[in-house]
Structure 1
Amino acid sequence: MDETTTVRRTHRAHGARRTRRRGTTGALLAALTTAALLAGCTVTGPDGDDERGRDDGRRDDQVGTAPVGPVLAVKVDNASAARPQTGLDAADIVYAEQVEGGLSRLMAVYATTFPETVGPVRSARESDLELLRQFDEPTLAFSGAQSKLLPLIDRAPVHAKTPEDAQDAYFRGDEKPAPHNLYLRPNKLIDSPPGADALTTGFRYGPAPAGGTPEDSRTVRYPAARFTFTWSDDSRRWLLSMDGAETITTDDSRVAPATVVIQHVTIRESRFQDFLGNNTPYTQTVGSGRAEVLRDGRVFEANWERGTPTQGTTFTTPDGERMNFAEGQVWVMYRAR
């Protein structure tokens, strides 16, 4: 659900406070954020980097280079009326999460390149705040949020940008009905992409490990959504179809990640509901569990671990070795245990 109209005045007030808060000390901001996330996300453990958390998964030629700016994370509509989407193929990472009614929503993360346009843009969820803590004050582009969630967004270490915060960056298209027609021009929010160093996800890229099982196709199902990834030897990518239809962007580009992660996580009820009274699922991305990694036409069993919100996620093989991803776009599919 989009709450853009209903939260404009509220979010504008929060935006003013957020601007003033940027001038406070980093310690105060960290304290406020930690309190908010602990209240809403039931995260346990120390909220800080340890030695392993600082291993962000960058390639050897990237180590030692500090991020030059924040990543851009865009909440992308994935209802059938929103398709085809724009700019989805240009994302470095796409996270898929379950929302109300068993439907899905996407978070597209951009660091190495910005498409001219991204969308349709939709509303944020509580789970986004925990997921985004792995990045250094990312810019979060979204259309609105449930009014009770806005204070948490305001206190989180993100640069929250709605149409009310950055009117020049958003526009309404004329090919889809509202609310599925709001689009973002990324270069109106950030001058240039920050580069791969900003992707502090914990992902490691490199050659595939030994083993794995040949896989031609894998389908991930949510209660009211279906994602199918089919391996293409020609493109060396997983061709994506959603709800039985090929996923092709508005510029006729097929969405085809190099790596697909099926990450088994805890999905529980949150404190929030949509306007129909449906509870908003909360996807817990801090913790540990099992995963399946699809790359190079094979599926590899793996384990995942994310100790604190400020850490990325480490993936390992069953024998404890780091799991390498293939170079290129990564899709992370969060699935209930």
Structure 2
Amino acid sequence: MSEKNHQTDVTIIGAGPTGLFAVFQCGMLGMRTHVVDALEATGGQCTALYPEKPIYDIPGFPSVAAAELIEQLEQQAAPFDPVYHLDQQVTALERTADLGWKVTTSKGHSITSKAVILAAGAGAFGPNRPPLANLESYEGKSVFYLVKRREDFRDKSVVIAGGGDSAVDWAMSLPQVAKKVYVVHRRDKFRAAPESVARMRALADSGEIEMIVPYQLHGLTGENGQLDAVIVKDLEGNERTLETDVLLPFYGLATDLGPIADWGFTLERGHILVDPTTCETRQQGIFAIGDIATYKNKLKLILCGFSEAAMAAHAIHSLVFPEQELHFQYSTSKGVPGES
């Protein structure tokens, strides 16, 4: 077999948190894995978009930075020797003669396996940009769609715009380093976890942040890419000028499934419909987990993606080892490779 032709038990598309945990789950069941990701490093959005963002709903971690979570997941997967194919996209997916699947990547690698796990998040992603005049002239200088290093905002005045988890999480975190933090939202209701919203409101009550509600972004002022103020307007047309150094618009991501959309899956609003008991798609032997998967009452939480990884791995076992009966064991009794 050539250096670019590979054979394994399971091919995992996506090296974000759910993809990494799928490596562990497959490994615990004796299955080898290869992992493909378009980014240059593992971690998906946790690495690319918000490595320092605190995550509060991972069991056992009252708070964990996204980058630290990825590091721990890599260590957890390491005993099973996954092979990573990073900085390359999957360009083709086709059936093999033995009813397995062959994945082809943009760098000419082919990976043949009995099953495929799609853990590709929501596909390719980019920020939803607010409709503001001359916005592009400030991007990358004083307008940012993600926070990679909280320290970059030390002693600065920051306007956070949006009402979702990212806006609320950074509204709780940035006051520890920033000089001033404003939170701009078009209504008083936020889409983040209720406990997080309550903590943010407590910071507002104590004067650590200022809530600008209900207002929307209306304009920007500044020179040579550096903001000096953000203009906001309420529903009655009243304007306020917020003197600031930085604008962080958190309006979510525009996503694109790319070639995945043409692989014969049942799609619902840009997500792949799966059997909620196994996470298998309509294509036998292909499973979808994490943000890319959907089913009735689906929750887009990392911890749910972890559960889906376990369900998919157990469902795949019979495809990889058809003659072997799977006897469920807890990790506490089974252990992992390398443990004494």
Query: Higher strand fraction: Structure 1 or Structure 2?
Result: 1
Structure with more relative contact order (C-alpha pairs < 8 Å, separation 6 or more): 1
TM-score normalized with structure 1 length: 0.23
TM-score normalized with structure 2 length: 0.23
